[in-house]
Structure 1
Amino acid sequence: MSPAVLQTQPCDAVPFGTTKLTRGHEIMSTIADEWVREGLREGLSEGRREEAAALVKRLLASRFGDLPEWVDARLQAATLDRLEDYAVRVLDAATLEAVLAE
């Protein structure tokens, strides 16, 4: 009688714990991807707001001449929607104060 020979075949068995680690890695990758997308959205939004503030400042200076220091603070604190309102108002407002009125 000959001793039994154990033959093994390659299989798709996954070592214990690997499935959990792989799933955890997928979750972390998804979270990281979302953070990157969120950062890009915020960066683009802030960039648009800064460009709008710069444009409104140029429009105000063109229409009213030298601008007082408080104008910069008002423009930097304004939301994008508010800056768009200022850009429209600069066309018809009689004074700088009227353009930047809340």
Structure 2
Amino acid sequence: MVAVVQRTLAEKGNEMMQTVADHWIEQGIEQGIETGRIQMLREDVLDLLAIRLGATPPHVVEKVTAVTSIDSLRQLHREAAIAPTMAAFSQTLAELLS
């Protein structure tokens, strides 16, 4: 009887540990995807600025690279598409970060 209980506990414990491990793996994958999206949006913003407005000042690159919110980066991407000048984009960026 004791052996049956021990075996059952061991099996259930292994199942539980596998479930926890699967959850951690899934979380890691989701975080990796999120990190990738953020990096891609940053690159898209900077690429669009360079295409539309020329060389991007280092301080703008630093500030865009520091943004971690997908919503903020999407807003910056839209602004990069319509800003008439780098100064106008920089002002929007400063407002967003304040």
Same fold (TM over 0.5): yes
Matched with 2:73 is: 83
Which 4+ residue blocks in structure 1 deviate beyond 6 angstroms?
none
Identity over the aligned pairs, expressed in percent? 31
- Structure number with the higher helix fraction is 2
C-alpha RMSD over aligned residues: 1.5
Matched with 2:83 is: 93
Deviation of residue 16 (structure 1)? 4.1
TM-score, reference length from structure 1: 0.78
TM-score, reference length from structure 2: 0.81
Secondary structure of residue in 2 paired with 1:91? helix
Larger radius of gyration: 1
Matched with 1:35 is: 24
Matched residue count? 89
Higher RCO (CA 8 Å, separation ≥ 6 residues): 2
- Pairing 1:5-16 to 2, within 5 Å after superposition: 15-16=4-5
Matched with 2:11 is: 22
